[in-house]
Structure 1
């Protein structure tokens, strides 16, 4: 199960850290409720891993998540050769033939973990990774690295059930962050991100798709497609949900009349605001406030 390498020195890479669970412990932990959904079996940190390479003709029994914090490398899979740069993650499903290696001139610094469990497939699906697209650009690489470091610290501590549960929790958070912050050039390009920031800063202002596309320097149809891929929503629905999130906060934290809340989030007509609020929450604003006050 260990993450092998061809190191620069006989003892490995200076400053390296790694932990591998014994196979009997893995088998037991996979039957326990707290670690059956997600279990970290191997985890490590290889700084400036000169000549690091690993070949698995039959893949690994666990899923592999490798985060490149600096430098670069590549991975050969049945789908081709995939480049892995700083600020990105390589995700390899269990059983997938692969060979990865550090760049010869700019070797990577990597944090990696092997994970298994019933929830991993769903988390990978949320990341939108496949054998054809195994590399994910991270939205916040430093936070993901910090979480993998937490996993490693817990497993360096001991192999008790509490440490394995804590490691699983940090790993789940790391995978969820990768999913939430996935940022490929096609999905979360700078023009799309800048218009999202504009919408968040101007919640009460209704902005058309055409206006946003013009801000991004894209055609309306191209922008609309990229926007939906980036957020999962159409432009108007995204704006409505931003407004309703702000309305919820006002209903929760103030005693302002419904009409005042509606105007604050960009709805001059309180009745129309109530209809839109009900579409999102299945209750009217007044019913929502009454339930929260109980």
Structure 2
């Protein structure tokens, strides 16, 4: 998929070939155009450098001991394969996606008996490495199992279609937008086997459905049959915020909506979003927004 030379894996008896499969589609952007696009103002600050579709890619694979500067995304829609990073070797099954961060040595290949069918792209950006790290898409965790692969593959197909069209700024921007969207979907989707994620999703749904109710962390933990400390740690790991801070975010979001779309008094809005003490609501609102609820309502918006 890139400019690397295929090799024979030390532990793998088959020769890995980079491309050349019946029915494949592949596009490689000239590297001078990559640099030109990334330096051009007004772009998405991400460029798809390589992309393709490899059906039943028998003996396909790559070994890169010298890292490259692009993130690599491989969506396995059929068959199986594997990938390796410095953290170890990981099996890849149908419905899973490999995300390999830039500047990390890696290898990957098709299963010898049931070779994978792949949609794939490489993306370069000044921000992509930090984005992948903050989303948990690291060399230690390169394989993701989204609950629904179709939206990701649909976006990867869109990437390839735009790249095949031409290398104008319009097409590269459109491809970059689809690639960013695919990455954000992968960042937000939990693995199918992530039972802890299911528990936290149920908790966030409960909080969204009971914005005005007094819901405590021990109550949520009890619903999940977990200790308060374990539940709190899981919640922060999956959501990115502690429970009570997330609850405040939900309440303030609803308060902003009511301030923007109704003429209800601030005291009534405070009560509707779970703050019977309107003075406490006022302090919380100003702490979050840097202004009072009245000042927020009087702003010109839209």
State the TM bucket, normalised to the shorter chain: 0.7 to 0.9
Q: Is residue 2:288 matched to residue 1:280?
A: yes
Deviations 1:246-290, CA, capped at 9 Å, x for gaps: 111111111111122112112222212111211211112111101
Q: In structure 2, how many angstroms separate the alpha carbons of the residues matched to 1:199 and 1:247?
A: 15
Q: In structure 1, how many angstroms separate the alpha carbons of the residues matched to 2:206 and 2:216?
A: 12
- Which stretches of structure 1, 4 residues or longer, exceed 4 Å deviation after superposition? 2-8, 182-188
Gaps of 5+ in 1: none
| 1:97 corresponding residue in structure 2 | 105
Which stretch shows the higher mean deviation, 38-47 or 79-88? 79-88
| 2:139 corresponding residue in structure 1 | 131
SS in 1 for 2:241: coil
Which stretch shows the higher mean deviation, 221-230 or 145-154? 145-154
Mapping for residues 247-258 of structure 1, pairs under 5 Å:
247-258=255-266
Which of 21, 33, 53 is the matching residue for 1:12? Answer: 21
Q: In structure 1, how many angstroms separate the alpha carbons of the residues matched to 2:51 and 2:227?
A: 45
| Deviation, structure 1 residue 139 | 5.8
Gaps of 5+ in 2: 7-14
Do the aligned partners of 1:29 and 1:36 also contact (CA within 8 Å) in 2?
no
In the superposition, the TM-score normalised over structure 1's length comes to 0.87
| 1:214 corresponding residue in structure 2 | 222
| 1:80 corresponding residue in structure 2 | 88
Mapping for residues 161-176 of structure 1, pairs under 5 Å:
161-176=169-184
Instruction: Count the aligned residue pairs.
Output: 292
Do the aligned partners of 2:75 and 2:153 also contact (CA within 8 Å) in 1?
yes
Do the aligned partners of 2:16 and 2:62 also contact (CA within 8 Å) in 1?
no
SS in 2 for 1:82: strand
Do the aligned partners of 1:34 and 1:165 also contact (CA within 8 Å) in 2?
no
In the superposition, the TM-score normalised over structure 2's length comes to 0.85
RMSD: 2.7
SS in 1 for 2:299: helix
Q: In structure 2, how many angstroms separate the alpha carbons of the residues matched to 1:68 and 1:4?
A: 22
Do the aligned partners of 2:4 and 2:64 also contact (CA within 8 Å) in 1?
no
| 1:268 corresponding residue in structure 2 | 276
Q: In structure 1, how many angstroms separate the alpha carbons of the residues matched to 2:195 and 2:37?
A: 37
